[in-house]
Amino acid sequence: MNSNSIKDVNFKGRKVLLRVDFNVPMDDHRHITDDTRMRESMPTIQKLLTDGAAVIIMAHFGRPKGGFDAALSLGPVAKHLEELLQKPVVFFPELINDKVREAARNLQGGEVMLLENIRFYEGETKGDESFARELASLGDCYVNDAFGAAHREHASTAVVARCFPHDKYFGFLMEHEVRNLEKLMHGAARPFTAIIGGSKVSSKIGILENLIPKVDNMVIIGGMRYTFTKALGGKIGNSICEDDKMDLALALLKKMDEAGVQYYLPTDSVIADNFSNDAKTQVVASNAVPDGWESMDCGPESCRKIREVIMASKTILWNGPAGVFEFPAFAKGTNEIARCVAEACEQGTFAAIGGGDSVAAVKQMGLADRMSYVSTGGGAMLEYLEGKALPGIVAIEQ
């Protein structure tokens, strides 16, 4: 990756086409509620501007159905970008036309331009080569800092890179993400513990199978654990379960046994009489959930056991919540894992956090800065952990 880093390249006098991930959450009034993804790309943007480059930024927002949509315009992002950079940002709330092209041609070193939502173009998600060439014509080199979109074979994330065979680079954020994931998957200190949660086994099959040869401990949490518990003969009441994946769950457990991986399924659960934050609750054995009740979180004994595993680990991967994290009454297990992982990091453990709820938990608790690495890319990180090649990375390295 060294030859593709922007670190030792001077971009003075260059017109840089920069792809970022500014797909930030907004409230109903179109106010940005979390600008983490924007702030994470600031070092790359500042490096290019300090060099004296003219920077033309490409980004997406939401999932437009085709054509311009004012509700999905990057206007609020452009305004906030001006605040972060403390300088004007050239932005036109319209698709690329002669006016936009002229503004790009006239952009001077040290100036920034943000193109309108790149997904307004049908050719973006189709990976259209002619659209990629149109984008490439706006700059004379390409930098990809959008790890969150690196798993997409889109025009602006992968195809456009081929238009710059000798002038394509990773931004600092992309480089940071890939280095940490490579360290996690190919150079992990042992014991290596994976904590995998979420609602469905089917969404995590690839990750579990790819991790089994690499980890020492596998902690299976969240709703997906009940497919394993039922497959092992337990009573799970109304808890979420993929009945058609029970044979797969048993096969995965057998693979772990054969690979010498210690696996942990929560032994007790906080259960509720309905799916609500205000439901009646009780703590029971995970394999003895009464009819009419459903598991909503890990119980206290399970949390203690997970803590023991975490504190004995040198490397941790955490992806997915322990329970119904969106309800405060059932966020205790997830929050306890976050606290334990932060404590382990302070003792020298390397911990990687990925996935929406896991990242949300460490942020809400103010623990993100205490973690070794918090990924900005949900889907991209998942596909990397499954062992898949990410088009946005491959296109730069080719």
> Mind listing the pLDDT tens digit for each residue in 309-353?
999 999 999 999 999 999 999 999 999 999 999 999 999 999 999
- Tell me the pLDDT tens digit for each residue of 260-274: 999 999 999 999 999
CB 91 within 8 A of CB 75: yes
Tokens of residue 53, six digits: 């480059």
Per-residue pLDDT at 171: 97
Contacts of 276 (CB under 8 A, 6+ apart): 327
Query: Does 53 have pLDDT greater than 90?
Result: yes
Give the model's pLDDT for residue 13.
96
Query: pLDDT-based confidence at 358, cuts 50/70/90?
Result: confident
pLDDT tens readout for residues 118-159? 999 999 999 999 999 999 999 999 999 999 999 999 999 999
pLDDT at residue 66 tops 90: no
On the CB side of 297, CA atoms within 13 Å amount to 27
Active site residue 379: yes
Q: What tens digit of pLDDT does each residue of 162-184 get?
A: 999 999 999 999 999 999 999 99
C-alpha dihedral sign at 203, 172, 164, 38: positive
Rounded CA separation 171/41 (Å): 8
At 1 the pLDDT is 52
Let me know how many helices (H) and strands (E) the chain has, helices first: 15, 17
Return the domain boundaries, the chain: 2-174, 188-385
Over the stretch 238-268, which tens digit does the pLDDT of each residue have?
Answer: 999 999 999 999 999 999 999 999 999 999 9
Task: Determine which one of 200, 255, 307, 363 is catalytic.
Answer: 200
**Is 188-385 in the same CATH topology as 2-174?**
yes
On the question of pLDDT at 198 being above 70, the answer is yes
User: Which among 110, 206, 234, 356 is annotated as catalytic?
Assistant: 356
Provide φ and ψ at 219, rounded to 5°: -105, 115
To the question of domain 2-174 being in CATH 3.40.50.1260, the answer is yes
pLDDT band, residue 2 (cuts 50/70/90): low
What is the per-residue pLDDT for 306? 98
Average pLDDT over residues 61-66: 89
pTM exceeding the 0.85 threshold for the entire prediction: yes
Average pLDDT rounded to a whole number, residues 53-59: 98
Quick one: pLDDT band at residue 191, thresholds 50, 70, 90? very high
* pLDDT at residue 378 is higher than 90: no
**Inter-residue contact 206 to 258 (CB < 8 Å):** no
Angle at 44 between CA 40 and CA 47, to 5 degrees: 140
68-84 per-position pLDDT tens digit: 999 999 999 999 999 99
- So what's the pLDDT on residue 67? 87
Q: Torsion over CA of 272, 275, 276 and 281, rounded to 10 degrees?
A: 0
Q: Decide if 75 is catalytic.
A: no
Mean pLDDT for the chain? 94
pLDDT value of residue 357: 81
Active-site residue, from 37, 47, 225, 332? 37
Distance, in Å, from the CA atom of 26 to the CA atom of 252, rounded to the nearest integer, reads 39
Residue 64 and residue 201: Cα distance in Å, rounded?
Answer: 30
pLDDT score recorded for residue 3: 67
pLDDT, residue 294, reads 96
Domain topology for 188-385: Rossmann fold (3.40.50)
In the residue annotation, 37 being an active-site residue is answered as yes
Looking at 160-289, which runs of residues are DSSP E strands?
168-170, 192-196, 217-220, 235-236, 262-264, 268-272, 281-285, 288-289
